Structure formats: C-alpha cells, structure tokens
Chain A
Amino acid sequence: MEQSPDKNILVTADGIPLKTSLARAQRRSKFVAFMMVFPLLFFIMIGFIVPIVDMLFLSIDNSIVNRILPNTVESLKNWDPYANELPDEAVYASMVDDIKKAKKAREHTKIGTRLNYESSGFASLFRKAGRKVQKIDKPPYKEALIKTDKRWADIYTWQVIKQNSSDLTDGYYLAAFDFTRKFTNGKVEPLPEKDSIYIKLFFRTLLLSTLITFLTFVIGFPVSYMLANVPTRISNILIIFVLLPFWTSLLVRTTSWIALLQQEGVINDFLILIGIISEDGRLAMIHNATGTVIAMTHILLPFMILPLFSVMKTIPKSYLRAAISLGAHPWVAFWRIYFPNTGPGIGAGSILVFILAIGYYITPALVGGSSGTFISNRIAYHISNSLNWGLGSSIGVILLVIVLFLFILYDRIIGIKNMKLG
C-alpha cells in the first residue's frame, strides 16, 4: 500500500482513492454491459416497439378530416350542431372549395370513406359531390351543393362532419367496445344487443381460451406427473412424444386436424367403421368452435406439459412418501402435499397457454368456421379486407392491453428470468 496524504483512505497503486477507482471500474463495466445489449435493444425498438406504438397512434388518428376539409372545419367552428339550423352560406362555400381542391388531389373519396365508418352514406355523398362540384362556380353555394344531393340539406350530415373534425378520434375505440355516438345529440350509447359484436367476440375469445387452458391442464397434468416420476432413462424417451408436436410446424398440425376432423375425415370414418355413428350421422367437428378447441388444445398442450414437468421434477419424492408413512391416505397426501408444490408450474403453464390462445389467428381461421373464430380474425379482416385500419388497430390495442396485463401477472408469479424453453 502506497503512502497517502490521509492515512484513512485506501488508495490504489496510482494514487487514486479505491472508492473512486472502484466506482470508475463499475461505471466502465456498466457501460460495456450496456453497449453489448444496445444493438439488440435498438433493433427491437425500431423493428418492433416503434411499429406497435405506431399502431396505437393509428387507432386514434383523425387528421384526415382537417387535412382535406380545412376551410370547412374552420368555418364550422361557430356553428352550433344542436341548434336545429343548417350552417350558413359561408360553410357551404368552404365545403365546395374544399371538395374542389380535394377532387384535384383525388382525395375527396378518402374523406368519404373515413366518414362512412361513422355513418353509412358518406362514401357516395362525397363521390357524387366530387363529380358535380366542378360545375358550381358562383354563389349561392348552399343551393348548388344541395342540388347535387339532398343530404347536404340534412342537419345530420353537418353534425357528423362537425363532430369528427378534431385531429384525434375516439370513434374507433367506441366501435371496438360496441358503442356508438348519436350525432344528433353528441351522446355516446351502447349498441343495441343484437348489433353488438366486438364485446361478444372478446368474450368468446376469452371463454374459449379459458376452456382450452383448462383442457390442457387436465390432460397435461397426469402426463407431466408421469414424466417427472419415471426414471430419467424412460422420461427422456417419452418426452419426445411431447417435443415432437411442440417442434412441428403449426400449419402441419392444423392441417392434420382438418384431415382428422372433417366430415369425410379419419375420425368420422373410424366411428362409422366401428358402428358408433351411421353414414348419415357424421359428426360436425370442424368449421365450428369444437374444431378450434380440439385443434388448439392439441397445439398448446406442450406449453402446459413442459413447465409442469420441469417444476414437478424438482419436488422431492420423499415428501409424498413421508406423508403416506405418517398415515395420510395417498389421495390426501397427493392433494395436500404434492399438488400445492406444483403451483408455480400450473401458474406458468396456464398463463403461457392462455396468452398464446387469446392471440391465435391461423388455427381459428382454418378450422373455426363462424362459431370458432377469435378476435384476431376480426383484426386481420379489418386490415386486409375492409381497410378500416383504425378500427383494426384499436381492437389490436385492446387485445394487447389484456395480454400485457397477463404478462405482468406471469412476471409476478414466475418471473420472466425463470422462463425456460423445451
């Protein structure tokens, strides 16, 4: 140890106090560690987190109205939508002007499409206006515009435009929760029961996912117990039965279930062969909820067995023996001693299966028919068929919130650090 001015402070060979040196080394080490993680973090941020956040914005974005109808939005500011009076000439003039400009940029139909999500009929209203508005070149614009379509004389039309003129909208979320805005009074109301769709779909998705989770648990528990309690030599072989489907392509497994479950399929043929059902009584096990549940239970079963198995392996067999030798009935011993110890495995497996199940898309799309489709199928529909990306995004965000909530739950129970794979 070198001499130092203050004898109470330890210093390193180059005379720097040890504390400082240590802190510096630690900072350096922290920096190095962070720099190693940084490339991936950056990659995930750009390639994944940003797209998800982008989707969030898409679900509330409504800038299109202000962009295409800037003058109208401005002149509508002073108009009271509930005064039961049509807007004045100035508003009509700006609308004609806006549509003329939009027509030139071929955007008048875009605004029609956007407002059509809120109220049916706007698509044709703006398409028609785009065709005829060029001929309107002098006041009174009000009469001229109404001549193109009498809906322009309807206060309701203007109420819809006025109430959708801000840059952000809650319209997509209202739709995703089966609510609707009455534009005549600006109030938000739930859709009538017969028209509600997304809440029912969410509910069905959660219900079927719960059922699938429960089934995987009931089916998976005995097998995991067996695997954990036979000699390693045997379990190493038997676990292949679990790993093989786990590693096999999802589409392969879904295809197999189509071959098995369809009316002219293997299972129906077999049941007829052994005489359980008649040729006319072929069971409908596919293109309905049954198909989805059977196929998904099979597909997700390994995700239940593997965590259960790894937890059960760590429970000493002596616990059970001790309980029995102390006089407990084997069933009681199992229920009171062994079962509680499997808790973490059950928690991990259930949450994992549930999280995977509620986001499933492919299997329900192929075997679900109409009663076995999930909320994901609706998201896909809005993205690729109806082009209502805002609504698709808002449903996606709601699903994401549910999953994140479950994930936090998972983290609390198991801890993500302990996540293991096959």
Chain B
Amino acid sequence: MNTFLRVMTASAVMAMAGLVGQVMAATELVVVSWGGAYTASQQNAYHAPYMKRNSGIKIINDDSAGSAVAKLRAMSQAGNTTWDLVDAVASDAMMLCDEGLVDEIDHNRVLASAPDGTSATDDFGDFIVSPCFIPQIVYSTTFGYRKDKVSRPMTSVCDVFDLVNFPGKRSLEKKPINNMEWALICDGVAPAKVYDVLGTDAGVTRALAKLDTIKSNVVWWTAGAQTPQLLADGEVIVGSTYNGRLFALIEEQKQPVAMLWDWQVFDLDGWVVPSGGKNKAEVMKYLRFATDTQRLADQAKFISYGPTRASSAPLVGKHASLGIEMAPHMPTDPENAKTTLLFNYEFWADNRDDLDAKFNAWLLK
C-alpha cells in the first residue's frame, strides 16, 4: 500500500510538473537542415524574424539533413517522430513522399498567396514537383574553374571533357546524376533528347564511354565542400558543385575562380513535413510565413540561391554583408540561364537504382 501511494504521488507530481512545464515553456519546433552557411541563411531570413513575432515559438536547428531520409524512415517505424520540419532536395522529398513518410500539402490552403493575389500554386508553378514538397530555393549544380590555370576562359560544359585545350584534373560528383547528362550533351545528343537516350542501354553505354575519356583525370567528390576546397588548393582546374558554394569561394574568399554556367542543372530544395510530427498546426503557421514572397527574397541576401516564387524575383536585393547585387549571381538570372537542364525527377526516380549500380560498376573498372 505504502509503495502504491508513493508511486501514485510521484506520478501525480511528475504529471503536474509536465503540465506546468508545457504551459510555461515555448513550443519548440525542430527544424532539420543542412548546417553551415545554409542554415545560417534560414536563421536570418526565416527563423529569427518569425521568433521575434511569435514569442511562444522556439526554433531549434538540427543539422541532420544529410541523413534525413534514413532517419525519417527510422522514426516513422518507431512511431516517434521528433522532427517538425525537414529541408530536403526535391528528389529526396519525392522518395519520402512515395514512402509515405512526409505529409501531402494543400499548397493553396497552407501557403500565402503572392502580394498581387496570385495563388501559391501559380506563384511556385512547376517547382511543386511533388504533392509533399514546398519549394524554397532553386540551386544549380554547375562548374567553377581556376582562371589562372587555363589558357582561355571556359565557356562550354564540353570544355570539361576537353583534355587537349584544358589539361589538368577536374572534380565531378560521385554519382551518375548530372554527369551522364553532360556527357551525352557533349557527345552530340540534342539536349531535348537526353533522357530518351539515357533511358536505353545504348545511351548509358554511350554516356559512360564519354566519361571514360576523362576518367583518369577526375577526382570524385561526395560532399559539397570538396570542390571549392580542391579548387582553392589547385588540385583541380575545374569542378562541379552547388553554385552557392562557388559564390562563397569567389566573392567571400576571393579565390581566382570563375563560373561556368553552361548547362547548369537546376534542382530544388524545400520543406517537407514529417508525418507524425507533433506540432503540425504550429508548423503550418510557420510555413505560411517562411515561404511568403518577402521571406524567400530575403534569403537571397545571405546565400546565392534563387527564390522559387516568381513574385520574389524582383525583390532580390543586395548581399547582407558584402553589399553586392545578388541578382547577377542567381542561377536563374537570364545571363546565367541561357542553357539549363531541370533535374528530371521522374526519370531519376525510376532509374536511380539501376544507373547508380551501373555507374559504380563503371567506376570499379
């Protein structure tokens, strides 16, 4: 009896404490993103102003986006989702959506319309590539080259495959995506037909054969920081990476590197809402704020990624600390976007496993 009483009292006290704690403490939203400069830009453009307006909300940054896909699946299996919002690239967002790990969103209901009244779906347009995905930025995978180590400026992506005029090492990402497309374009395939060709065995062989011509001169990277590092060290003369990393290398660290925008591949990054999150209502309120026209334009002050709303583009201003105009550094700027590919989500969702295996088998040869 004594024990029973003690247990009861203890649990009552604990329950009380829990209740009081909940009333007193702010609601914490765990937002998972990529860390570094990218999380900092979100903190400055979205989190900080939102917390200023909503004193009851505390946003916790969790830099786990790199392993988010596997961890989300793990959480959902356990039925204990501790994340409220996750930043994911579009292809991962689609995979998560397919797996039922993130919620489908009614974009027009959840998100704000543009200032001129355009609905969210029209404002984001084609960038809503999955019913679960709330687009945030357009980034591109493109090339940077060492100005001082080439005989003439590189202007075409095919210069990367040209070892005669541009001898030296190049760095490419250690996966088939993007590399296969560039290889085919430089092998003479019409850009509009790239995925038709890549969908056939002969096309895959053709792309790998083209990559074979530079294979011995390629340093393969797996993390976005590697190409800037390799360029700065002079280990490679040209390398692919995310355009924001190259911007930092050129404008902030003042390295002798220039952009090669030809056939940059646009990709999207945005928010997904984990199924089973515990603060859905608060998350939706946050999303309405953080993805409105002004906020998306604000983020471009801190990092050179383009806003996904059409209505945000005219509002992009100067870099917060460098004071330079950001528009010319956006991948979506007309000067930079003369030749572009948009990441083909459907194609890669179907062929990623297969081509990835073939690509890795090719690497092993």
Cβ-closest chain A residue relative to B218: A370
Asked whether A386 and B353 contact (CB < 8 A) given A110-B98, A127-B98, the answer is: yes
Give chain A residues whose Cβ lies under 8 Å from the Cβ of B219: 287, 369
Let me know if A200 and B98 touch, CB within 8 A: no
Give chain B residues whose Cβ lies under 8 Å from the Cβ of A106: 100, 104
Task: Choose among B95, B353, B356 the residue with the greatest number of A CB atoms under 10 Å from its CB.
Answer: B353
Cβ-closest chain A residue relative to B360: A197
Is A124 an interface residue when CB atoms closer than 8 A count as contact? Answer: yes
Complex-state Cα separation, A121 to B233, whole angstroms: 42
Is A163 an interface residue when CB atoms closer than 8 A count as contact? Answer: no
Per-position 1/0 for B161-192, Cβ under 8 A of A: 00000000000001000000000000000000
Let me know if B350 and A195 touch, CB within 8 A: no
Closest Cβ of chain A to B129, distance in Å, is 12
Let me know if B220 and A121 touch, CB within 8 A: no
Let me know if B99 and A387 touch, CB within 8 A: yes
Give chain B residues whose Cβ lies under 8 Å from the Cβ of A262: 233
Give chain A residues whose Cβ lies under 8 Å from the Cβ of B358: 195
Is B7 an interface residue when CB atoms closer than 8 A count as contact? Answer: no
Give chain B residues whose Cβ lies under 8 Å from the Cβ of A264: 233-235
Per-position 1/0 for A194-208, Cβ under 8 A of B: 111100110010000
Name the interface residues of A330-387: CB closer than 8 Å to any CB of B.
369-370, 378, 383-387
Is A214 an interface residue when CB atoms closer than 8 A count as contact? Answer: no
Give chain B residues whose Cβ lies under 8 Å from the Cβ of A387: 69-70, 73, 95, 99
Is A179 an interface residue when CB atoms closer than 8 A count as contact? Answer: no
Per-position 1/0 for B340-365, Cβ under 8 A of A: 00000010011111101110111111
Is B97 an interface residue when CB atoms closer than 8 A count as contact? Answer: yes
Is A148 an interface residue when CB atoms closer than 8 A count as contact? Answer: no
Asked whether A120 and B354 contact (CB < 8 A) given A264-B235, A385-B69, the answer is: yes
Let me know if A120 and B99 touch, CB within 8 A: no
Cβ-closest chain A residue relative to B98: A109
Complex-state Cα separation, A384 to B174, whole angstroms: 16
Cβ-closest chain A residue relative to B205: A194
Let me know if B350 and A110 touch, CB within 8 A: no
Asked whether A194 and B350 contact (CB < 8 A) given A287-B219, A369-B220, the answer is: no
Complex-state Cα separation, A204 to B358, whole angstroms: 17
Let me know if A370 and B363 touch, CB within 8 A: yes
Is A113 an interface residue when CB atoms closer than 8 A count as contact? Answer: yes
Is B67 an interface residue when CB atoms closer than 8 A count as contact? Answer: yes
Complex-state Cα separation, A202 to B346, whole angstroms: 32
Give chain A residues whose Cβ lies under 8 Å from the Cβ of B354: 120
Asked whether A123 and B100 contact (CB < 8 A) given A195-B358, A387-B70, the answer is: no
Interface of B is mostly: helix
Is A255 an interface residue when CB atoms closer than 8 A count as contact? Answer: no
Per-position 1/0 for B59-86, Cβ under 8 A of A: 0000000010110010000000000000
Let me know if A196 and B98 touch, CB within 8 A: no
Per-position 1/0 for A294-325, Cβ under 8 A of B: 00000000000000000000000000000000
Complex-state Cα separation, A378 to B233, whole angstroms: 29
Is A61 an interface residue when CB atoms closer than 8 A count as contact? Answer: no
Give chain A residues whose Cβ lies under 8 Å from the Cβ of B351: 120-121
Name the interface residues of B252-274: CB closer than 8 Å to any CB of A.
none
Give chain A residues whose Cβ lies under 8 Å from the Cβ of B69: 384-385, 387
Asked whether A370 and B98 contact (CB < 8 A) given A121-B350, A195-B357, A386-B352, the answer is: no
Is A263 an interface residue when CB atoms closer than 8 A count as contact? Answer: yes
Let me know if A263 and B98 touch, CB within 8 A: no
Name the interface residues of B217-235: CB closer than 8 Å to any CB of A.
219-220, 233-235
Let me know if A110 and B99 touch, CB within 8 A: yes
Is A220 an interface residue when CB atoms closer than 8 A count as contact? Answer: no
Is A116 an interface residue when CB atoms closer than 8 A count as contact? Answer: yes
Give chain A residues whose Cβ lies under 8 Å from the Cβ of B361: 194-197, 200
Complex-state Cα separation, A387 to B97, whole angstroms: 13
Task: Choose among B69, B104, B234, B350 the residue with the greatest number of A CB atoms under 10 Å from its CB.
Answer: B350
Q: Among B67, B97, B174, B364, which residue has its beta carbon within 8 angstroms of that of A200?
A: B364
Closest Cβ of chain B to A283, distance in Å, is 12
Extra 5 A-B pairs, beta carbons < 8 Å, given A386-B352, A388-B353: A123-B350, A194-B365, A200-B361, A264-B234, A384-B70
Q: Which 10 A-B pairs have the closest CB atoms?
A: A109-B98, A106-B100, A197-B361, A384-B70, A120-B354, A370-B220, A200-B364, A124-B350, A264-B233, A123-B349
Binding site for A on B (CB under 8 A): 67, 69-70, 73, 95, 97-100, 104, 174, 219-220, 233-235, 346, 349-354, 356-358, 360-365
27 CB contacts below 8 A, A to B, read A109-B97, A109-B98, A109-B99, A110-B99, A113-B95, A113-B98, A113-B99, A117-B353, A120-B353, A121-B350, A124-B349, A194-B361, A194-B362, A195-B358, A196-B361, A197-B361, A200-B364, A262-B233, A263-B234, A264-B234, A369-B220, A370-B174, A384-B67, A386-B352, A387-B70, A387-B95, A388-B353
